[in-house]
Amino acid sequence: MTKKRIAKEHINAFLARLLEDYIVYAPAEEANYVTFRQITAPEEVVWDCLVTRKPPKDVVFPQTETLFTYTKDADVLRLQSMEAVEKERILWGVRPCDAQAMLIQDAVFDTPEDRDVYYTNKREKTWLIGIGCNQPLSTCFCTSVGGGPFKKDGMDLFLTDIGEAYLAEALTAKGKRLLHGRGFRRATKADLKASDAAEQTALQRLPAPMSMDIIKQHLDGMMDSPFWDEIQATCLGCGICTLLCPVCYCFDIVDEGTTTCGQRVRNWDTCQYSIYTLEASGHNPRPGGRQRVRQRLMHKFNYHLVNQNLVGCVGCGRCVQLCPVNIDLRQLLAEIGAAE
Amino acid sequence: MQELAEAIREEGKRLLESGEVDLVIGFTVGTLPLRAAPVFVRRAEDAEQLVWNSFCENNLAVYLRDIRDKRIAVVAKGCDTRAIVALINEHQLDRDKIHIIGVPCHGMVDRRTVARRAPGQVLAVREEGEEIVAEGESFSIRLPRSKALYRSCAACTHPNPVIYDILLGEEVAVWAEDPYAHVREIELKPAAERAAYFATEAQRCIRCYACRQACPMCYCEECFVDHTTPRWIESGVTPAGLQGWQIGRAYHLTGRCVACGACERSCPMEIDLVYLNGKLRKEVWELYGFQTGLIVGELPPLAVFQPDEGSDSTP
Ligand code: SF4
Ligand code: SF4
Ligand code: SF4
Ligand code: SF4
Ligand code: SF4
């Protein structure tokens, strides 16, 4: 589709125009780190952060979301759904892995049989302006899971840093509509070449891809493996590797309120918590850490392939960076791949 | 540091070879620069994996309570031993089943501080005397260790193990001048500012409970936040839910927190938990002159009462 160039000095003006019409989320500072959050001025964008502390998933799938509220007055019960979404949103500077994660979530929340309106209503009003990763981090492994630092799947518009300028490529009709106005020029042959070169350099920085097929096959036979005992020995059973994973989409629904008013809320949940599978009877089908660490790996690298034909991981490395006891998913996958 | 690591390996190997213990819990080399990883060593030949450096940041006492059927040796710095003492005092650990390999600690280096000071991604790190050298593709920076310590380490009152079966290496001199400096700094602010500080810190929390899971003293079979009938606090990341969680956990640790900072180190949102728990630690110190986990047999003040003490209703 259409490719244009925009000099770096004009990019903030472009973003400022978008800020007039959209709610914009972008990598921006919060406390001591960079996270994906709403911004109100172009200057807030942190351009050189690849892996934000929080992924952008909460824009369409908030950690805590009121589904409906209720009031009961005398004997009249009133329900008010919170599903409507007014304003359109733009995710600015999304990386290919995080965009891929949204496509995976689409496949879960928006199927031919079931549409989760709370998700789809937001998703339909969310546009992705992505950016390629010229310098992948040492913890990135997107090419192992079918992605890549310049993969444009899911993007409406995609920016490539080519030095003095960005090459801007529209990938959808929406992207094409966004791609005009002051600052945009026709892309030259040299621009396209610079973009290809950036992509090649980036690819070389990434580790050699692992085979997800082999990992899936090996996992088929690992239900009873002692491998899980080794991981669970040091795993703390916290929520970091799943709550901050851009792909993880588990949630729990809770009613909060009194007999006269209240709300139904849904919150992120994670298979790493013991109460995730705790049944009302008190029985817990996944009673220990062994079953829980196994579930995380099995779901992402086995069941997900069976159910969605997609790996449940996009290789962003957040779990690798943030695990408090340095349990490194890449190492686990390498060991699973090498297992007999 | 290298000699200390070697001594740990030797002791681990000896303990496993002689059959004195079934398991040695220590640290091994991390997969990332600035990291070491907790490791369970079960065979004498695997004791080679053990390391000791400025990144052994986790409190290994967190693992001890769950292992009931094995004799365990644990590599323990000052704060790890304080947690062990506190757990013994709360009848959670059997002193006889634990072999404590005490290691005097020089303070652990905050991986986030180093990463923030570096102009790019840190790809390698090493310690040269009292300096941390961090290197990336086109830079090499040096930081004095003392400027890169975890907040809790900078304020540490007991870097030397308070209890051990064997002590490896030389005891160190205490470096902290005022263990409550950070708490005092915030206490000096006007009430509205303090409230705002607490609220904004809490609001970044994602309820991942890593702080709780990393804490050796948070061992309840059912944490109050996991209790659903009734629910004590709002379930979501609302101000009420988050502040309720933060206050509830801090209160439960009053007189029990051993100041190891494991909570803050594990927190992915870098929330100032050292302040929150430190504030209550300071109260306990000022009211009762008590520091947790120093003496076996000394009960935490909130676990004892005197038959003739007053009550709220009878002033
Ligand atoms: S599993 Fe880890 S690396 Fe994979 S997408 Fe989730 S956080 Fe990223
Ligand atoms: S890994 Fe766990 S938390 Fe993540 S989607 Fe799968 S079951 Fe849910
Ligand atoms: S982040 Fe690490 S410690 Fe926490 S559940 Fe995941 S693997 Fe376990
Ligand atoms: S926060 Fe309180 S209830 Fe929860 S585990 Fe810790 S001490 Fe127990
Ligand atoms: S570790 Fe941090 S983000 Fe996680 S629950 Fe504790 S305070 Fe909240």
Domain boundaries, given as residue ranges, for chain A: 2-205, 212-338
User: Is the CB of A240 within 6 Å of ligand 2?
Assistant: no
Compare CB distances from A31 to B231, B235, B270 and report the shortest one's residue: B270
Question: Which residue has the least CA distance to atom 8 on ligand 2?
Answer: A250
- Contact between A75 and A132 under an 8 Å Cβ cutoff? The reply is no
- Contact between B168 and B4 under an 8 Å Cβ cutoff? The reply is yes
For chain B, the structural domain boundaries read: 2-108+149-302, 109-148
Question: To probe the interface with A, which of B65, B235, B242 has the most A CB atoms within 10 Å?
Answer: B235
Q: What is the structure's pLDDT at A84?
A: 93
Q: How far is the CA of A326 from the centre of ligand 3 (A)?
A: 8
ipTM: 0.95
Is any Cβ of chain B less than 8 angstroms from the Cβ of A316?
A: no
**Cβ–Cβ contacts within 10 Å for residue B33, how many?**
20
**Cβ–Cβ contacts within 10 Å for residue B137, how many?**
10
Compare CB distances from A256 to B208, B226, B235 and report the shortest one's residue: B235
Q: What is the structure's pLDDT at B68?
A: 86
Residue B231 has pLDDT above 90, yes or no: no
Between chains, do A32 and B30 touch, taking CB under 8 Å as contact? no
Question: Which residue has the least CA distance to atom 6 on ligand 3?
Answer: A241
Rounded to whole angstroms, the Cα distance separating A145 from B152 reads 39
Helix (H, G, I), strand (E, B) or coil at B38: strand
Rounded to whole angstroms, the Cα distance separating A325 from A320 reads 10
For A17-111, where are the E strands, in sequence order?
A: 23-30, 33-39, 64-73, 76-81, 89-94
Q: Which residues of A touch B265 (CB under 8 A)?
A: 324
Residue B314 has pLDDT above 60, yes or no: no
Give the pairing of strands A3-7 and A165-170. Answer: antiparallel
Q: What is the structure's pLDDT at B313?
A: 64
Find the residues whose C-beta lies inside 6 A of ligand 3: A 235-238, 240-241, 272, 323-325, 327
Is any Cβ of chain B less than 8 angstroms from the Cβ of A64?
A: yes
SS3 content of chain A, % helix, strand, coil (to 5): 40, 25, 40
Residue B194: Cβ-neighbour burial (10 angstroms; 0-12, 13-18, 19+): middle
Between chains, do A238 and B237 touch, taking CB under 8 Å as contact? no
Rounded to whole angstroms, the Cα distance separating A166 from A13 reads 14
Helix (H) or strand (E) holding B94: none
Rg (CA), chain A: 22
SS3 content of chain B, % helix, strand, coil (to 5): 40, 15, 45
Between chains, do A138 and B268 touch, taking CB under 8 Å as contact? no
Q: Which residues of A touch B228 (CB under 8 A)?
A: 275
Chain mean pLDDT for chain A = 96
Q: How far is the CA of B39 from the centre of ligand 2 (A)?
A: 25
Which residues 282-311 in chain A show a CB within 8 A of chain B?
Answer: none
Q: Which residues of B touch A321 (CB under 8 A)?
A: 32
Atom from ligand 5 closest to the CA of residue B242: 8
Distance from CA of A31 to the nearest CA of B (A): 8
Compare CB distances from B226 to A31, A268, A275 and report the shortest one's residue: A275
- Taking only the tens place, the pLDDT of each residue in A303-325 is 999 999 999 999 999 999 999 99
> How confident is residue B141, by pLDDT bands cut at 50, 70 and 90?
very high
- Contact between B273 and B215 under an 8 Å Cβ cutoff? The reply is no
Question: Which residue has the least CA distance to atom 1 on ligand 4?
Answer: B249
> How confident is residue A74, by pLDDT bands cut at 50, 70 and 90?
confident
Q: Which ligand is nearest to the CA of A239?
A: 3
For A82-209, where are the E strands, in sequence order?
A: 89-94, 126-131, 157-161, 165-170, 184-186
Q: Which residues of B touch A33 (CB under 8 A)?
A: 112, 269-270
- Taking only the tens place, the pLDDT of each residue in B244-259 is 999 999 999 999 999 9
Q: Would you give the DSSP letter of residue A45? A: B
Q: Provide mean pLDDT across the span B183-189.
A: 96
Residue B315 has pLDDT above 60, yes or no: no
> How confident is residue B312, by pLDDT bands cut at 50, 70 and 90?
low
Question: What percent of chain A has pLDDT above 90?
Answer: 96
Compare CB distances from B121 to A137, A233, A243 and report the shortest one's residue: A137
Q: How far is the CA of A139 from the centre of ligand 4 (A)?
A: 33
Chain mean pLDDT for chain B = 95
- Taking only the tens place, the pLDDT of each residue in A159-201 is 999 999 999 999 999 999 999 888 999 999 999 999 999 999 9
Reduced 3-state DSSP string for B157-180: CCCCCCCCCEECCCCCCCCCCCCC
For residue B219, the chain A residue with the least C-alpha distance is A236
Q: Provide mean pLDDT across the span B272-293.
A: 94
> How confident is residue A21, by pLDDT bands cut at 50, 70 and 90?
very high
Between chains, do A64 and B237 touch, taking CB under 8 Å as contact? yes
Q: Provide mean pLDDT across the span B160-178.
A: 96
Q: How far is the CA of A64 from the centre of ligand 1 (A)?
A: 21
Question: Which residue has the least CA distance to atom 4 on ligand 5?
Answer: B208
